[in-house]
Structure 1
Amino acid sequence: MENQPEIVRQAIVYAKQGWEVAEGWLLSPAAWTQFALLLAAYLLALVISRRLRGPLTRLLAPPPDQTNVVARLRNFVLIFLPLLLPLLAYVFTGLGEGVTRSLFGSGAVIAFGKRVFLFLAVRILVRDIFTEPFLKLLGNYVLIPIAALYAVGLIGPVSERLEATVIPLGNMSFDLLWLLRAIVAGGLIFWLGRWSNERSTSYIQSQEEMRPATRQLAAKVAEIVIFGAAFLVLMNILGISLTSLAVLGGAIGVGLGFGLQKIASNFISGVILLLEGQATVGDYVELDNGEAGTIVKTTARAMILETFDGRWIVVPNEDFITTRVVNYSDQGSANRYEAPFSVSYDTDINIVPALIEEAVAKLPFVLQEPDRPDCELRAFGDSGVEFAVEFWVNGIDDGKNRFTPQVLFAIWNALKEHDIEIPFPQRVVHHKGLPPAA
């Protein structure tokens, strides 16, 4: 034994202690009584849970056509029905523990059984009830091991061992128990923060009476408040004083002033855009470099534009403040477009404007207000007389593929109906000084 590693010697000691406990239980009448009570508690819980499962399911299940808060709450309670059996067994075992302690002055066996039932409840919770990947990960690697250690009575020694293992880090030091607590608490708190942020954002975006820019600003404020509160709660749980973060805050401030000034500038520009409402989700904008698209998402750093061909363009918020941006505002406002065309020089161009204006005005999407379609003579080109018809529509002709093609079809049909030729590029070439044979 003296030549064995420390961990092997410790395991042998725990094995001997476990064997002594098991041997004492096997030879004790009080232990056999407690085993019988454990079995009776489990069988009673099994019978009652089977009888209650059907009525509880019918009582808690809401009608299929209900989607209100009460219905969602009833569905939430319904998913915990698999815990009915182990929790009933745990309660009945606790009652039996009181009886055995009053009769025999001992209840170690039945207390062990009670902890086993609690372990089974945790296992069912993780396996059958948790659906979120993060919660399943937390349950498999944290909750179940802790419940298993608690069931065999080793939670105390393991905690003391982890607390005694100190990791130095420069002028600071922390034990493994504190590190595990920080990882678990931090992951759980910020998962709750993300879940709360998603719910609050969904609720804010559903408030149609609010302006889109106001909804975006409210969602961002809610996100900052939620994650700020999560950070403060985590610091409080870990016992870290906020005053000790003053130096770190100063360092972050210096970093923002030098290395992160672009990020800070984009963040502040995003806040300004939300406050002023100059550009928000749903607006169709054209940038100074000619790129155009619909704003589909706003972040703290940039806005995401989706072009008519499905591409996403990430535009820093600062560009919306410092450069020229055309906002067509696809929120029900009218916009004017034009469709160019040309006719042959043999055409009586005096009849063309009225002809085209009448044809375009018949299209169902063309507005009569603020102006009717207007056909204008633009130039005398190399191949023909150039015209353009201006028309107003309610919305965006994104990519010139929504309204303009239908207008061009109407122009083509109107010209063909009146035998007006649409010229193609042509040149007249004069040759001088040709040889006599030619």
Structure 2
Amino acid sequence: MQGAARPCQAARKREGALDPAQLSDQLSNQLTGILGDTGGDMLSFLQGLLRRWNLYQIVISAAALIIALVLGRTLSTHMRGWMRSLEGRPKWQLRALLAVEKRLALIVWALLLWATYLVMHEITWPSRSYLIGILAKVVSAWIGVEFVVHLIRNRALRRLSRWGLWAYVTLYFFGGLDSAASFLDNLAISFGTFRLSALSVLKALVVTGLLFTFARLISGQTSTRIRRNEDISPSMRELIIKGVQVSLYGAAFFIGLKAVGFDLTGLAVLSGAIGVGLGFGLQKVVSNLVSGVIILLDKSIKPGDVISLGETFGWINTLGARYASITTRDGKEFLIPNEDLITGQVVNWSHTNDFVRLDIYFGTAYGDDPHKVREIAIEAAKSVDRVLTSKPPVCHIVGFGDSSVDYILRFWITDPTGGLTNVRGNVYLALWDAFKAHEISIPFPQREVRVLEGSSLSTKALD
């Protein structure tokens, strides 16, 4: 048999056939030539994984993952029941416990991997637990990433940050970071002397994202401190806050681009051309932006003011870059463009001070003493809680009507945000009670119908 096999092998060699080992080497060389250095590194990594003890470590890690999924689900059920029994705990503690509960399977997997690695490292060769140790580090880094990105409020940004950081730490611990960077740098397009690679774009996004995050944190802290400063008027507070926000976000954008090597000269020319085009197409938007700045500078309207604009009556919640948010007494929130506040007729009930004078009209019968009526009306108005006694109400006769003596009652309040109709209603009710107690009558028109003699109605009545 051996003698017969040798001629066959010799014949294959004469015909140019390759044995399996030579075929594997040739295939590896071809893949390396196609994919470059990155492909060669990936191929070497995959060949290393196919070694016997590496396969054992992969199987052990997969088994640990299955056990972690089962244990994680069981522990999650018990932990949810325990969390429902907690009462009176701060919200941040409950949120932290909920974040841990959602990641129990990952935490259990990391613990199992570390335990397996420590045991195998003591009882066998270090190389036979090396892959499990790297995977334990990767999973632990994944857990850290999960808790870090949990602080990001935006859901889409949180998901993008999670996958990006997971990929980064995985490549870092497995030693593929340089190869991945080289691969991304090769994916590039060139315009003359300008070269734009996928690696540069990725760096720009990461650096700009971090700068925007820091700008947002600094802006939030600055806004809180400025709003607490009572020495600054409300309109100036809003103007300072808007200026700080624009400065921080603008600086973050341009510093992020400059940090990764972008030439801002061409960008400035391009942005100028785009700005001219947008200026014509977005005239209303630009007008609202400029009007918002003017409102903040001249202090004609500020947050907390009570205003009337046409049929809209309410108080200003916020002054935005494009519109002002006005809440009415019935709970509706109107978004009024800043341009309307500049060009329209606005009644500001609390522009220079909070004093607001209200007038109500009423009439009494001619038989009632007008001096007594005025005294009773003033005392009735003073009895209402929101009516000021420091600026006492006044009552005057304004005319003699067909069936009543007409009066005007004037009084002052300092809280127009509490409503105007309700305080008028309370004063009317106090007048009603006072007039009833002092037997002051409020006349109303009365009509008499007479049937003339000889009319058809008179004849029918006699019949």
TM-score, length-normalised on structure 1?
A: 0.70
CA contact (8 A) 1:256 1:264 kept: no
Distance 2:281 2:43 in 1: 61
CA contact (8 A) 2:149 2:162 kept: no
Superimposed CA distance per residue, residues 132-160 of structure 1 (whole angstroms, 9 cap, x where no aligned partner): 24574244210111111222222222222
Superimposed CA distance per residue, residues 75-125 of structure 1 (whole angstroms, 9 cap, x where no aligned partner): xxxxxxxx9xx9xxx9xx9xxxxxxxxxxxxx9999978865653443122
CA contact (8 A) 2:301 2:348 kept: yes
Q: 1:222 aligns with which of 225, 244, 248?
A: 244
Q: Which amino acid in the other structure matches residue 125 of structure 1?
A: G
Q: Which amino acid in the other structure matches residue 409 of structure 1?
A: L
* Structure 1, 148-157 or 382-391: larger mean CA deviation: 382-391
CA contact (8 A) 1:293 1:398 kept: no
CA contact (8 A) 1:374 1:391 kept: yes
Superimposed CA distance per residue, residues 277-301 of structure 1 (whole angstroms, 9 cap, x where no aligned partner): 11111111112x2322111001111
Cα offset for 1:248?
2.3
Distance 1:208 1:146 in 2: 47
Q: 1:126 matched to which residue of 2?
A: 145
1:18 equivalent in alignment to 2:45: yes
1:412 equivalent in alignment to 2:432: yes
Distance 1:169 1:417 in 2: 93
CA contact (8 A) 1:357 1:389 kept: yes
CA change 1:115–1:276 in 2 (3 A) is farther
CA change 1:239–1:19 in 2 (3 A) is closer
1:326 equivalent in alignment to 2:347: yes
Cα offset for 1:204?
0.8
Distance 1:302 1:110 in 2: 63
Distance 2:418 2:308 in 1: 10
Q: Which amino acid in the other structure matches residue 127 of structure 1?
A: E
Distance 1:434 1:168 in 2: 111
1:299 equivalent in alignment to 2:320: yes
Q: 2:407 matched to which residue of 1?
A: 387
Distance 2:370 2:45 in 1: 107
CA change 1:398–1:386 in 2 (3 A) is farther
Q: 1:421 matched to which residue of 2?
A: 441
Q: 2:295 aligns with which of 268, 273, 297?
A: 273
What SS does the corresponding residue of 2:281 show, helix, strand or coil?
Answer: coil
Cα offset for 1:181?
2.8
CA change 1:126–1:348 in 2 (3 A) is same
Q: 1:45 matched to which residue of 2?
A: none
Cα offset for 1:201?
0.8
Q: Which amino acid in the other structure matches residue 181 of structure 1?
A: K
CA RMSD of aligned residues (A): 4.3
What SS does the corresponding residue of 1:315 show, helix, strand or coil?
Answer: strand
Q: 1:360 aligns with which of 378, 381, 399?
A: 381
Distance 1:254 1:284 in 2: 38
CA change 1:191–1:397 in 2 (3 A) is closer
What SS does the corresponding residue of 1:375 show, helix, strand or coil?
Answer: strand
1:336 equivalent in alignment to 2:357: yes
* Structure 1, 356-365 or 395-404: larger mean CA deviation: 395-404
CA change 1:408–1:154 in 2 (3 A) is same
Distance 2:393 2:276 in 1: 59
CA change 1:395–1:167 in 2 (3 A) is same
Cα offset for 1:244?
0.9
1:212 equivalent in alignment to 2:221: no
Superposed, 1:226-265 pairs within 5 Å as 226-255=248-277, 257-265=279-287
Cα offset for 1:216?
1.4
* Structure 1, 269-278 or 420-429: larger mean CA deviation: 420-429
CA contact (8 A) 2:187 2:197 kept: yes
Q: Which amino acid in the other structure matches residue 432 of structure 2?
A: W
What SS does the corresponding residue of 1:403 show, helix, strand or coil?
Answer: helix
Cα offset for 1:357?
1.0
CA change 1:230–1:397 in 2 (3 A) is closer
Q: 1:401 matched to which residue of 2?
A: 421
What SS does the corresponding residue of 1:391 show, helix, strand or coil?
Answer: strand
1:290 equivalent in alignment to 2:317: no
Sequence identity percentage? 31
Cα offset for 1:253?
3.6
CA contact (8 A) 1:295 1:306 kept: yes
Q: Which amino acid in the other structure matches residue 252 of structure 2?
A: A
CA contact (8 A) 1:190 1:227 kept: yes
Distance 1:303 1:363 in 2: 33
Distance 1:361 1:434 in 2: 58
Superimposed CA distance per residue, residues 26-79 of structure 1 (whole angstroms, 9 cap, x where no aligned partner): 69xxxxxxxxxxxxxxxxxxxxxxxxxxxxxxxxxxxx9xxxxxxxxxxxxxxx
CA contact (8 A) 1:204 1:219 kept: yes
Distance 1:319 1:172 in 2: 46
What SS does the corresponding residue of 2:412 show, helix, strand or coil?
Answer: strand
* Structure 1, 354-363 or 143-152: larger mean CA deviation: 354-363
CA contact (8 A) 2:300 2:351 kept: no
Unaligned segments of structure 2, at least 5 residues:
1-22, 55-88, 90-106, 118-125
Distance 2:282 2:435 in 1: 60
Distance 2:261 2:305 in 1: 47
Q: Which amino acid in the other structure matches residue 206 of structure 1?
A: R
Cα offset for 1:212?
1.4
Cα offset for 1:215?
1.3
Distance 1:322 1:15 in 2: 67
The number of residue pairs the alignment matches comes to 368
Q: 2:167 aligns with which of 124, 129, 145?
A: 145
Distance 1:357 1:137 in 2: 66
Q: 1:375 aligns with which of 367, 384, 395?
A: 395
CA contact (8 A) 1:397 1:403 kept: no
CA change 1:393–1:379 in 2 (3 A) is same
Superimposed CA distance per residue, residues 241-287 of structure 1 (whole angstroms, 9 cap, x where no aligned partner): 22112322322442354222222222222222212211111111112
TM-score, length-normalised on structure 2?
A: 0.67
Superposed, 1:427-438 pairs within 5 Å as 427-429=447-449, 435=455, 436-437=458-459, 438=461
CA change 1:21–1:328 in 2 (3 A) is same
What SS does the corresponding residue of 1:158 show, helix, strand or coil?
Answer: helix
* Structure 1, 170-179 or 228-237: larger mean CA deviation: 170-179
CA contact (8 A) 1:122 1:143 kept: no
Cα offset for 1:330?
7.5
